[in-house]
Structure 1
Amino acid sequence: MTPIIESLDEVSSRYKALFVDLWGCVHNGREPFPDAVAALQRYRSKGGKVVLITNAPRHRKAVEGQLEEIGVARDSWDTIATSGDSARAAMFRGIVGKRVYFIGIDFDLTFFDPIRIVRDPVEIERVPLEEAEGIVCTGPFDSHADPDELRPQLLYAKQKGLKLLCANPDVVVDRGETREWCAGAIAELYTRMGGESLYFGKPQPPIYDLARQRLAEFADVADADILCIGDGIRTDIAGAIGEDLDSLFISGGLAAAETATRHQPDPERLEAFLKQHMASPTYAIGFLR
């Protein structure tokens, strides 16, 4: 059975670095969680390194700007690895062609900003679906609309044999009290329809490779000394398990209702939830603190 801990301090001395999810753990899309920020500040004050590892479909500078805007203290983290960075590198290597159909909102157009980490990047052109060689999806056009509304476009794309690059494997996030759809929901639908979806964020290996590279800029840390923290059982925890990294499951995020989390999860509900998802995180806690 996964042990439920009261605070990060109980186990943090065992690790030299943390890979920490953002949305649902450190902030809710509108404001930071003070206890979570304080926990990370305490950890860093003792010499630990914090890599924020997020499925945001943007490059790290854009995410850094968002964190500053909503008030996440800069001294609570060392560096950032984003799904957007991993997916952007793949796009600029031509994984879905040069002419792409974009599914997303204007806020995420930074995805197409020039990139430095790819030698001789291909020139990407956003075009109508009828002219596209592939699809880039950072999220739905409307995060509150049923992803099934995109079925006609996806059916056409499948018939053309287009690959869909998913820049954010999350299916949903909670912005404050409102649940919103993410790119992962569209990619799942496309796959169910028989299309091919390509993922580069959690739980897939590329974003963990990127996180290790970013961490190596600050310290040489073995995998056994890394703790992954997140509220996504299918992303954060599945990714950690796949990478053979220890994990701390935040039950009060996406699974708050299923685990009956108030201050802490109900132990029986937590065990049933983990069993349902065939997951075994190293530890669990209601909220990062």
Structure 2
Amino acid sequence: MQIVTALSQISDRYEALFVDLWGCVHDGVRAIPGAVEALTAYRDKGGKVILVTNSPRPRAGVARQLVGFGVPETAYDDIATSGDSARLAMFDGIVGRRVWHLGPPHDAGFFEPPSILSDPAPIERVSLDQAEGIVCTGPFDPSADPGTLRPELLAAKTRGMKLLCANPDIVVDRGEVREWCAGAIAALYTEMGGESLYFGKPHPPIYDLARRRLARIADIPDHAILAIGDGPATDAAGAMGEDLDLLFISGGLGAAETGTVRGGDPDPGKLDRWLGEVGIEATYVIGTLR
């Protein structure tokens, strides 16, 4: 493992980047300036950037959101979202045709059929008691403990319903506020004996989608791809599972544990201990993407 202070120290070794969004490129409120500058500079030298995010939104929805955060299109080539990966499975009928949407109203775009499907299964959103399966894009209230959903999840488990998880993230930090994600609900459902189906990081489908997005613009082998992210159970585990080199962002979800102050570098001793505890094998570590 090598601690670096800038992406440019290692970027010449790679032809493409698979970059996490939340905690790496933006904080849920605004763009991280150093990250935008680093990615733009990398692309200016010919590198390709695929944003790989566990957002349940379709690619177009994430692109619109990035504009609002101040992330310019010059910072990336394409986007692969867990939402798109999960939508393909949903419109194949993986959890049935009548589904209960467990998620906020602003995720309604998830239920728009992908243009790449010629014959999508008709999907109808219904109440839980009429549903064949659950589509979880996130909690109704991201500040509420997922345990408040136990009654609904128990009813679903009793009926043998599958839960499609459109975002495997457990938590994210929106600015200074930590919020629960769909992954926390899916984990609880599994713990209760239900069956949860995942399509975002660290699971293979989203990496297959990212490689497809990359292949449309360049033919780049895996050994020339660098994964960048801050989530131990998602970004790091995914990169390790896909045998991709990893630049781990210590100033994201693991900032406190690694002693990474805002805009600074991790404490080497705390970093080594924590990486060992969570089982991360990072090729490189940086405090923030810059």
Aligned counterparts of 2:265 and 2:213: Cα–Cα separation in 1: 32
Amino acid at match of 2:247: L
Amino acid at match of 2:203: Q
1:89-144 per-residue CA deviation (whole Å, 9 max, x = no partner) reads: 00000000000011000111110012122331110001111111000000000000
- 1:24 counterpart SS class: coil
- 2:23 counterpart SS class: coil
Deviation at residue 10 of structure 1 after TM alignment = 0.7
Aligned counterparts of 1:89 and 1:272: Cα–Cα separation in 2: 40
Partner of 1:243: 242
Would you say 1:120 and 2:108 are equivalent positions? Answer: no
Partner of 1:254: 253
1:133-172 per-residue CA deviation (whole Å, 9 max, x = no partner) reads: 0000000000000000000000010000000000000000
Amino acid at match of 2:27: N
Partner of 1:280: 281
Verify the 8 A CA contact 1:19 1:228 in the aligned structure 2: yes
Aligned counterparts of 1:279 and 1:288: Cα–Cα separation in 2: 18
Return 84-93 or 268-277, whichever deviates more. 268-277
- What TM-score results when the alignment is normalised by the length of structure 1? 0.99
- 1:153 counterpart SS class: helix
Aligned pairs (5 A) from 1:1-289: 2-262=1-261, 263-289=264-290
Gaps of 5+ in 2: none
Deviation at residue 231 of structure 1 after TM alignment = 0.4
Aligned counterparts of 2:116 and 2:85: Cα–Cα separation in 1: 10
- What TM-score results when the alignment is normalised by the length of structure 2? 0.98
Amino acid at match of 2:231: G
- 1:161 counterpart SS class: coil
Aligned counterparts of 1:43 and 1:183: Cα–Cα separation in 2: 32
- 2:43 counterpart SS class: helix
Aligned counterparts of 1:116 and 1:93: Cα–Cα separation in 2: 13
Amino acid at match of 2:259: A
Aligned counterparts of 1:31 and 1:277: Cα–Cα separation in 2: 28
Aligned counterparts of 1:115 and 1:212: Cα–Cα separation in 2: 18
- Over the residues paired in the alignment, what is the CA RMSD in angstroms? 0.6
Verify the 8 A CA contact 1:93 1:118 in the aligned structure 2: no
Verify the 8 A CA contact 1:170 1:184 in the aligned structure 2: yes
Aligned counterparts of 1:277 and 1:37: Cα–Cα separation in 2: 28
- 1:269 counterpart SS class: helix
Deviation at residue 33 of structure 1 after TM alignment = 0.5
Deviation at residue 281 of structure 1 after TM alignment = 1.0
Aligned counterparts of 1:168 and 1:91: Cα–Cα separation in 2: 14
Gaps of 5+ in 1: none
Aligned counterparts of 1:115 and 1:218: Cα–Cα separation in 2: 20
Deviation at residue 273 of structure 1 after TM alignment = 1.0
Aligned counterparts of 1:92 and 1:117: Cα–Cα separation in 2: 11
